Structure 1
Amino acid sequence: MKKVAKRGQEEIKDRAQARRDEIVEQAKADVEGLREHGFYHTGIDSSKGNETYQVKVYYVEFIVDSKERKVTALVRRLNDKTPRHVGRAKAAPNDCFNVHIGKAIALRRALGLTVPDEYLNAPQPTEVRVGDFIEVTLDSGEIEKKPVISLKAGSLNAHLPGRIIQYPSHYAKIIDDSREEVCG
């Protein structure tokens, strides 16, 4: 009976991870589409968004603060030196930060567009992957945050300055699954 329950839990975890992966890809495509919309203004629905979204050429700049787990979208019109609209997104304390979802939320807010519920309520990642940042609580109670550089069955390797530490994967809490070294 325990094997059946464990297999059911694994299937739920796999579905949650697959759904999160879909939402991250959707967010990436959404940001790209909204940026392109600022240049070309095709297929405009004037009942949505603010005036800049509806009728103006605009440019987008993102400020990402991974330590604070937040993203800011700055929207400028063609000849503006300062942003006309600003949107912000910040991960909740117990949520895993993802820069792609954050960019989509922040940009939609800056343009006066509705933020899809799936961005705001994306499932937490269930699978540690190379490039994720994890939080590990040591036996001493100290908490360390570090990037995952490799995985082996049941364990992961994280990088510390000058050395590599191996941890059992069940000790790790994923705190950032953006998998980007430089966010822009």
Structure 2
Amino acid sequence: MTKQTYREVKREANVGERIRIVNPQFALGYGEGDEGTTTERVSVGVHAMLNGSERGVYHREYVVLEPVTTSGTNEALASAFAQFILDNADTIRAILGDVNKTEPAALTRAAVIEKARADVAELTRKMRSPIANSDGNRTFNTLTSKPEFHINRNKRAVTVLVRGIYGNAILEKGIAKAAPDDVFHAEIGKAIALRRALGLTVPSEYTNAPKPTEKLANMLIRCVSGETRKLTDSTADFNVRNCSMLHSWNGRNGTVIDDTDVDYSVATEGAAA
């Protein structure tokens, strides 16, 4: 006997339909993953039998489980298609062999920085209107809040305090700290710290951002002597102005440690020209 399967649909449930809890907020007697049948529908939600009792559930807390109908015709079609693949395997392999796979272009450091800046702006907007937020933690989903960033470039770290809009209480805290061999940038650090504070996934582009590939004005450089200097506009006299003359720029000597002050838009325009 074929087991009944369902698909999740985000809509308001009708009486008699089955629901699954996916975003518990003011949950009393139920949690994420619990399923039950609706018994009554009201303006802001439904009543449903969950864990042996009737519970009130907001619309934003659940998805409707719609039955998926599997007919004999579909099974016959799937079987015929599988046989077609078996009968024509060599031809199909030859066709697929001619298809060139295109890998997505890797983001440049400038693009990652811009993505992080836009990400922080969008998350800040969502923090003020939490009703539509379905991922992250309870603060992000149910409370109105705002970020307060603290940047410590000496420690190569960014800390964010998520404060309530009303009362200014600290609701969450997130920290991002650059690894010893990484290049610190405040905008990337802000995006990582804020996402951690809100219980959101941190994209790998942030944690594995490409390092700078050239010398640009306003980069902070650590010399082999241990001293830190800022790269001037004139990269040609970098050795004389910023490190001792014996400390030349290369992979073993001068090392970029912070590019927060670099204007990548200018650098990109210059490269395009």
- TM-score, reference length from structure 2: 0.51
Partner residue of 2:25? none
Unpaired segments ≥5 residues, structure 1: 1-14
Runs of 4+ in 1 over 4 A off after TM superposition: 157-160, 164-168
Contact 1:128 1:169 in 2 (8 A): no
User: Aligned residue for 1:5?
Assistant: none
Deviation at 1:159, TM superposition (A): 6.3
- The residue number in structure 1 matching 2:167 is 80
Distance 1:85 1:76, change over 3 A: same
Summarize the alignment of residues 53-72 of structure 1 with structure 2, pairs less than 5 Å apart: 53-72=140-159
Q: Specify whether residues 26 and 80 from structure 1 end up closer, same or farther in structure 2 by C-alpha distance, changes over 3 A only.
A: same
Give the secondary-structure state (helix, strand or coil) at the position aligned to 2:233.
strand
Q: Which residue of 2 aligns with 1:149?
A: 232
How much is the aligned-residue C-alpha RMSD, in angstroms? Answer: 2.5
How far off is 1:114 after superposition? 0.6
What is the alpha-carbon distance in structure 1 between the residues aligned to residue 233 and residue 204 of structure 2?
A: 33
The structure in which a higher percent of residues are strand is 1
- Larger Rg, first or second structure (1 or 2): 2
- Structure 1 length as normaliser, TM-score? 0.74
**SS of the residue 1:53 aligns to:** helix
Determine if contact 1:129/1:151 at 8 Å carries over to the other structure: no
* Partner SS, residue 108 of structure 2: helix
Partner amino acid, structure 1, of 2:259: D
| Cα distance in 2, alignment partners of residues 152 and 24 from structure 1 | 23
2:199 to 112, 125, 146: 112
Instruction: Tell me if 1:174 matches 2:263.
Output: no
Alignment size in residue pairs: 155
Once the two structures are TM-superposed, the CA of residue 149 in structure 1 deviates from its matched residue by 2.2
Matched, 1:29 2:118: yes
What's the CA shift for 1:132? 1.0
- Counterpart in the other structure of 1:123: 210
Q: 1:101 aligns with which of 180, 188, 211?
A: 188
Distance 2:234 2:120 in 1: 31
Of structures 1 and 2, the one scoring higher in RCO (CA 8 A, sep 6+) is 1
CA contact (8 A) 2:215 2:235 kept: no
Aligned to 1:3: none
Per-residue deviation, 1:55 = 2.4
What is the match of residue 9 of structure 1? none
1:100/1:133 CA distance change after superposition, 3 Å: same
Q: Can you give the 5+ residue segments of structure 2 that lack an aligned partner in the other structure?
A: 1-104, 263-273
Distance in 2 separating the partners of 1:101 and 1:21: 11
Contact 2:161 2:170 survives alignment (8 Å)? yes
